[in-house]
Structure 1
Amino acid sequence: MKTSRRHFLMLSVGVSSSLMLSRVAFADTANALSEADPKAQAVGYKEDASKVDKAKFPGYAAGQTCANCSLFQGKATDAYGGCTLFGDKQVAARGWCNSYSNM
């Protein structure tokens, strides 16, 4: 069976894009920031903003999440994304921390 260059290139692109998509999906949760992480504890990070202790963090307001924070480096529709505070760790889009900023 003789494979043309065009067929080979199309197959290579398809395989490469599939691998990239699976890697992105895996990266979402593989490098997720834990609430037990010392950096996360220092800023009161919670994976679910609805579980923020409002007495301890009076600056929290309903509707504030990592997804709509200016420090969030993912898209608002991503389940996890980067944050300028935590380097290569991924934060939950529905999360919150005391460094929340919407500027």
Structure 2
Amino acid sequence: MKASRRSFLIASVGIGSSLFLAQRVFADEQLSEDDPAAKSYGYVKDASKVDKAKYPSYQAGQECTNCSLYTGKTGDASGGCPLFGAKQVAAHGWCNAYTNA
């Protein structure tokens, strides 16, 4: 049985769409505070809950949205951070890699 050009194009579009959708699903995964990478940076989803005794560098007002590493858009509930790969961090979260340089 010979495959037609039309069959090949339909299959290619279907596979390409599936890969795109799978990438979008994984890109929207939220970082958990229990994630090993999150734990190594002291990440919390709510900056107001930072253990100030454990992280004395924390200062009120520091959160992911005003960190220079945060790649999310203003007003979004979460966004990207190069420290955590494709996982999204909470906009009002914090970790000890915070920088505003």
What TM-score do you get using the length of structure 2 for normalisation? Answer: 0.72
Mapped contact 1:69–1:101 kept (Cα < 8 A): yes
Separation in structure 2 between the aligned mates of residue 82 and residue 33 of structure 1, nearest angstrom: 10
Identity, in percent, stands at 62
Superposition RMSD in Å: 1.9
Give the equivalent residue in structure 2 for 1:51. Answer: 49
What pairs with 1:83-98 in structure 2 (closer than 5 Å)? Answer: 83-98=81-96
Runs of at least 4 residues off by over 3 Å: none
Instruction: Give per-residue Cα distances to partners, 1:3-36, cap 9 Å, x unaligned.
Output: xxxxxxxxxxxxxxxxxxxxx8x778x5000000
Mapped contact 2:81–2:89 kept (Cα < 8 A): yes
> Which AA in structure 2 matches 1:99?
A
> Which AA in structure 2 matches 1:55?
A
What TM-score do you get using the length of structure 1 for normalisation? Answer: 0.71
> Which AA in structure 2 matches 1:96?
W
Unaligned runs of 5+ in 1: 1-23
What pairs with 1:34-45 in structure 2 (closer than 5 Å)? Answer: 34-45=32-43
Count of residues in Structure 1 that have an aligned counterpart in Structure 2: 79
Unaligned runs of 5+ in 2: 1-23
What pairs with 1:1-103 in structure 2 (closer than 5 Å)? Answer: 30-103=28-101
